[in-house]
Amino acid sequence: MSTATEHRTFDSLNPATGAVVGTHPVHDAAAVRAAVRDAGDAARWWARLGHAERRRRLLDFKAVLTRELGRVADLIHEETGKPVGDATLETVLAIVHLDWAARNARKVLGPRRVSPGLISVNMAATLEYLPLGVVGVIGPWNYPLFTPMGSIGYALAAGNAVVFKPSELTPGVGALLAELFAESVPEHRVLQVVTGLGETGAALAADPGVGKIAFTGSTATAKRVMAACAANLTPLVAECGGKDALIVDAGADLAAAADAALWGAMSNAGQTCVGVERVYVVDAVYDAFMGELTTRAEGLRAGEHYGPVTMPSQTEVIRRHVDDALARGGTAVVGGAGSVRPPYVDPVVLTGVPEDSSAVREETFGPTITVTRVATAEEALEKANAAAYGLGGAVYSGDSRRAMELARAMLTGMTAVNSVISFAGVPALPFGGVGDSGFGRIHGADGLREFTRAKAITRQRFPLPGMKITSFSRTPAELQRLVKMVTILHGRRKS
């Protein structure tokens, strides 16, 4: 990297080989300000196009992404190390979500009449959702297309311009995304990308021209982003990771549950915010489930079934969690301390790990899983809900009603039943967490509204005779008529 600030660059590397994938500029605060200023002009133009034209442009962008699917997946593979097949799946999900946002924005956000109620019967009331202007998106490296597109696509569909700061580990994916978008929207820079390290993201969060920040990353970083946003009262939607649990109840299809637990824990090398990190299995089926899980896990190979750990420092977090679990009496039934061999981590299945250990309480973000025997599903639920995180979760059960009850009771934003992470593939469902997993929602109607401001309008259609209430000329008789009406409408207690 050169020393002159205006010419600073950085490389993105293939984590599996260390080879340079691309070289990108480090955008400083002045460059970020310029991007936000340009985005403000673009946002006004984009908003004036209206829902129908934006829909057409975004569907065209979707077609461009689909046409370039192989190119996009290859670049995701190069910058993250994940297998091309997993990168392809990520790209497909991004395309599906973009399609939903484009097709549903008008229905969700467009003007609609609402009932004014009897007290305001002379009013016409309308509600619509208007764009914020410029939305800043700070994206992660683990799903460098799918995750930020959950904000970018929905913010664009809502009529905003977007300035996207991708992770410094995957800047090429962001740059390619902006390049492909420009094929469908060449007139203005409605989607821009600024690349760099932490200071670039901080400059974006602190810019007063940004109407909202959408952030994905660690809880600690989210707090710093919130502090930067606070100076301008810039609202924030934050997705901060998780420690998702899977409950296996009696009567569950154990082969399916074990297969799902393993994929939820190990796919993408465990680097999934809604990945399975904890499994709680009722005593009646514990031994059978462990037999299914260990057989499958022993056949899994790092570098073949999943890629390397993308962020080098994460291997030490994984090592610390495994070492702590073993030191505190846990047992590695698959893998162990020697499984951490940077940049790869072989599958690790731990049992008998204390609930207050780092492997159970902290986000590991690696291909490890803890499995705990419990007496009942209620005990499993209690332990699942004890974590500070509350992003996603899963329940496997042969009783659908019981499974739904457990799913509702999980303190998470999303829960899958007899599947894992399936909610991410349903564009109409909101995505987000509670507690240390953050706040706000992307995806679905909630995700569209997240990037808008509600606009309420009332219009008097005719004056109410004898009911001039909001006037200094109001008479005692008029006020008494209002009280009588309210008493008739609302004074009777309902059983």
Which residues are catalytic, by number?
A: 239
Cα separation of 280 and 372, whole Å?
5
C-alpha distances in Å from residue 243, one per residue of 97, 141, 201, 416: 25, 18, 25, 15
- Cα 253 to chain center, whole Å? 29
> Phi, psi (5° rounding) for residue 331?
-125, 135
CA distance linking residue 135 with residue 36, whole number of Å: 9
> How far apart are the C-alpha atoms of 280 and 376, rounded to whole Å?
9
- In the block, tokens 């109620």 appear at 117
Q: Round to whole Å and give the CA distance between 144 and 315.
A: 19
Q: One-letter amino acid identity for 436? A: D
**In whole angstroms, what is the distance from residue 138 CA to residue 34 CA?**
17
Distances (CA, A) of 221 to 13, 151, 215: 23, 18, 9
Q: Is the dihedral of CA 62, 65, 70, 74 positive or negative?
A: negative
Which string of DSSP letters, residue by residue, matches 153-190?
Answer: HHHHHTT-EEEEE--TTSHHHHHHHHHHHHHH--SS-S
